[in-house]
Structure 1
Amino acid sequence: SVRELRLSGVSRGGTSLVQGTMSLARKRLAQERREWRKSHPHGFYARPDKKEDGSQDLFKWICGIPGKKKTLWEGGLYKVTMKFPSEYPAKPPKCQFAPPLFHPNVYPSGTVCLSILNEDIGWKPSLSVKQILLGIQALLDEPNIKDPAQQEAFDLFKADRAAYNERVRKQAIERAPSFN
């Protein structure tokens, strides 16, 4: 009936399930922002992007991941965009390097291929923005060769480690933060 159709998308409180999910995601992202501002790893940054009207977009964060010390990635600051779905934290964010990164586990589009970001494999709603960014940082120097996402980087990593290392160092230098 018409009444049943109208009620099918409504929860008990009178708000739609979509609004309830968005509200949960928004609360969690606001909490993540507070936690990040209180304490975050040295050299990292993560903040909501700005909408055209100047307000914060809690569903899209601009992040920076420094290369780990004593690795080929050291010195680089790698920019990542995190896009959170309305179902967050039930579903993981999409993380994308901008510009795309030369790495076996980064798709040519820049999207990160990491088990903790895959809702069918390793995603847990309890994972924080901090844990995700630390996981991506670890992946940089420890590629998962069982799950390649970028053929060129994977092939070079397997066939000519010296050439791969040289390309990674060059990339780190190109992505060093400038303080001008």
Structure 2
Amino acid sequence: MLSIVLLLVLAALGLLVPALTSAQTYWAWLSVGASGAAAVVLVLDWWLRRRSSPGAAGTAVVDHPVVTGDRPLPADETGSDTPGVRHDQVDLEPGEEDTDAADALVVSELTDEVRVVDERPRYHLPECVWLGSRSTFGLPVDEARRLGFTPCAVCRPDAGLSARKRAADRSEPA
């Protein structure tokens, strides 16, 4: 469709030359008509693309696939080099950890470092198998939560961090 628009614009320019060099106005009107036809084709192309886009029917467009489930698969069922992640799911986003309210409360007060991947919605423990060799950067867990990151279902950082905190609290002398 865009090639049709290009041809119509070139025709409009070609018709504009005789309109400017001669005293006949119908060349100018033909140039305006070709420009109008190009505009109509552009609008039609936009409308057709909008109707055929995935989000047009009121469905949300997700820019990253999401793996459902709370726990990783056992290593013998995966078929990939990354333990706990199936071969066909290596690039998929892990699901969100189902964190209970008590763990969420403990984690919201912690400043332990978690790892995040740029443009991904989850935060992970540094030893998370899903991270593999992906480029990550560290954030305090309370800041990661404030920024809208959610816990990974593979490494379960909220459960792990809250368990560490509770164990540390129990080992401290009273």
TM tier, shorter chain?
under 0.3
Q: Please report the TM-score for the alignment, with normalisation by the length of structure 2.
A: 0.25
Q: Which has more helix, going by share of residues?
A: 2
Q: Which has more strand, going by share of residues?
A: 1
